[in-house]
Structure 1
Amino acid sequence: MVSVADLLAVPGLGLRPVHVVDGPSLRWVATSELPDPTPFLEGGELLLTTGLGTRGWSDQWQAYVGRLAAAGAAALGVGIGLTYDGLPDTLVAACREHGLTLLEVPRETAFVAVSRAAAELLQDQEAASTRLALDLQRRLTRAALGLDLRPLLDRLAQLLDATVALVHRDGTPAEGPLGARPEDGLDLALVRDEVAGIKGQGLGAVSTTTRGASTTVVRPIGLAGRPELYLAVSLPGTLDDPRRSAVSTAAVLLSLAVERRAERRAADRRLRGRALELLCAGDLRSAEVLLGAAEGDRAVPDRLRVLRVDGPDDALGDALERLEDAADGVLAGLVEGELVAVAAPVRVGAVLALLGDTGPGTGPGTGGGTGLRTGVGRAVAAAEARRSAESAGHALDRTTAASPVRRWEDVADAGPLALVPEALGREYAATVLAPLDAEHRATLAAFLRHHGARGAVADDLGVHRNTVRNRLAEIERLTGLDLDDPAARVGAWLALELASEGP
């Protein structure tokens, strides 16, 4: 909490403590010249006054200070050099009696400077509290939801004097090898062959191979579906019942842990998706809280760009996995059927590479036949992520199969017409211009081109001014537009331009 002592320590203010007590924390600074300002206080304020309303007071200070103390004021600050050259003795005595902190504010210190300093202290304190709360939340969440497989593998290696590892379906290690002699205790080529031999047999398959003085056991890990991980154990001698039971038990426990990790990953994915939804809606604080509860310690960049990706569901799912596994410092999730990614501006190129979409074309690294289309939003501060998300949506609307990636600056540089989706633009132009024949449209275009100068329009079209006036009146009647209204003129200009771009 911010205290009056913190404010006294701010250099340059020159506040002088006359009487200081351990009172309420400082919540704000108020200024009042009223004889009784307490109806306007909430408690915790530093009340600043020049004493204009207290000129000539003596015994009245007792009641004044008593009311401030009862209202929970943090302190009273009196400006010197206007009403008072020095603090009245009766005021000092009243503050001592009622236990209210009293400060002397020098003539050269503006009250607004005191208010600004207090506001900065309160803001810094709030930011520090938020950072600490998020850090503690992350630490507690990790401690409560730790699903590391390594301790179990270590323990199995110790019990069996073995070398153990978790391997993928292609035989490459996912965790390990671990044990007393990991470098030569497990034949990875043998493990790869054994995995290839049993991976089509489901979760009940097991391979046991004895070569020389050691035995290698390979078992699938998982509770349902196709196994993606296999437990490989190499131990000296033959596999007796106790050790076979230990391997089986470890496989079951690992399967449970892997299933829990999968559930956790799915839950984290939902959390990140919801966090991204909140972030793109402008709720940065709630988004950061949800991200703190998710595994991975991925924070919102201070400055960011939002990418919105559309395409086939399976392609979106594959792209999400690539971003989750390979893109450090990138937030990614599914939001209402779209893949949304948030990254620092310098990381956008890496994200596009992982998506397989870095520019127009269909070759490797340019869409690659994935069917994904990506809109890249403008670069903004984290608190303005909503603006980046909206601009990413506009950019996404302008993507095509030939140009699967559009950046906001490409769309913005193309002018306002680029912001209107093609189909919607054609429909709008047709609706506005439908009642007008070619003569009316030419007159309207000339009117807009010459900024409403009817004489210039008449000269441009080679007709009389009265003819122009009559045609414009007819256009207003047919379309319902008020051509003296700037908004109506913009709408008419858009309709004419969009119509001219049509097929």
Structure 2
Amino acid sequence: MPLTLAGLLAHRDLHLHLRTGRTDVVVQWAHVSELVDPTPYVDRGTLLLTTGLGLGRTSRRWPEYVDRLARAGVPVVGFGVGLRHAEVPPPLIAEAAGRRLSVVEVPEATRFSAVVRAVADGLVTEERAEQAAAMERYRALVRAALTPPPHRSVITRLAGQLDAWVLLLSREGHLLAGAPEQARRHAERVRLEVARTRSWHSAVFDVGGDRVTLLPVGGRARAAGVLAVGRAAPLHRHERGVVEVAVDLLSLGVAQTAEVLGSERRERATVLSMILAGRCEAAADAAESLGIPLPDGPVRIAALTAPVERRADLLEALENENSLQIVSALVAGDDSGRVVVVLPAVEGDAGVVQNVTSTVSGSHGAIGEPVEMADLSRIWPKIAALADTLPATVLGRLLTTRDVADVGLLSYVSPAEADGWAFAMIAPLQAEEARRTDLLGTVRAYLAHNGNSEAASTALGIHRRTLTYRLGRAEALLGRSFSDPGLRAELWLAFTVRER
């Protein structure tokens, strides 16, 4: 804890008395001066001790004096009474109150040297406390580095110690670890900053209201990654030391971590391919030998896709989702560039995957209904096909098979293409001679009544023979018969597009 004015006032042997101002201001040193302008000799945060020898009791120079101290960053004036002034001058108190400058009365019996000594002792105590806290943090980080997986353990511990968000990225920009969970939303901004500087070195920049510190991990000549620490308040000296210790610990294994991550992904992909091939027993044996947890009971499988440049982000986001880790979900990439998630069928399961999907731009996917692990190979082709063919209108969403049906066929076709096809389909019925007999309205009514001539003629208010004549004329123009269900389906779809 930094030394504050309240800490000095707690020294009862000094008999200090607060005349105005706050007691929570930080005191970084103490200085004695009787100069009318002592500011060239004081640093910010200095408690200034004076008896006011150069200033009268009602001096007009008090406003200028207080203004100079406030501008110089002096937080407290310790005014000694009994020598030149019997009490703290009221003009000093009034001006100080207006500038939020604290004023403390120092009695004649209290020597300034005692106040200076108390400040020095307080700063020493503070320094020792900060050093002790820093040493404990160092030891905690070392213990974390011995807890597998070490890089994630160190990142999690560091984020907690600093009350900050922390990211560890590989040289290629892959997210290796992040804490807390929401930290990964800053990953792209950190990547952009590294790409902008085009070199691996320490840097500081702002993200929203946070101050972000970047440090290379593994050496500047050939950094293996980068550590990013962000929070609203800047890091203090001892906190920067804690970060540097974390960098040293991470430098020992970040390159190996990236290699291990790649190896782990290949292992999970192998287990996934065995499951999708229907070899569940072999997959379970392989997962057990590799230390890969698999979900129990009924499971659901999700297939997700993203633009090529965002696939790694989608995979990383799902791998680092704590909720999926807790339920032992299997997250892996497949040979077609999809990201596949096998997770237990529990309440809110799809919502977790949906939330992650929505954070990675351009991604979407499909998820199946709950089945036994052995049945995944049977439903996988359908889920994969759905994920590959989802329209652009559902970006950011994770759809079930039921959702896909609700989306409708027309969502898979661009409006321009659909309009062009519909126009070409009904163009023969729009010929000049055809419009005089309203063939379009006749054919639509006929289709709307499922080919029932009596119902269609009644709805149109025409004789049944007139309807038969018009339908025959339409068939001649189309070159196809209404007995063909394909023609009826295509015409109805064309009318739907036209009316949409």
TM-score bracket relative to the smaller structure: 0.3 to 0.5
TM-score by length of 1: 0.42
TM-score by length of 2: 0.42
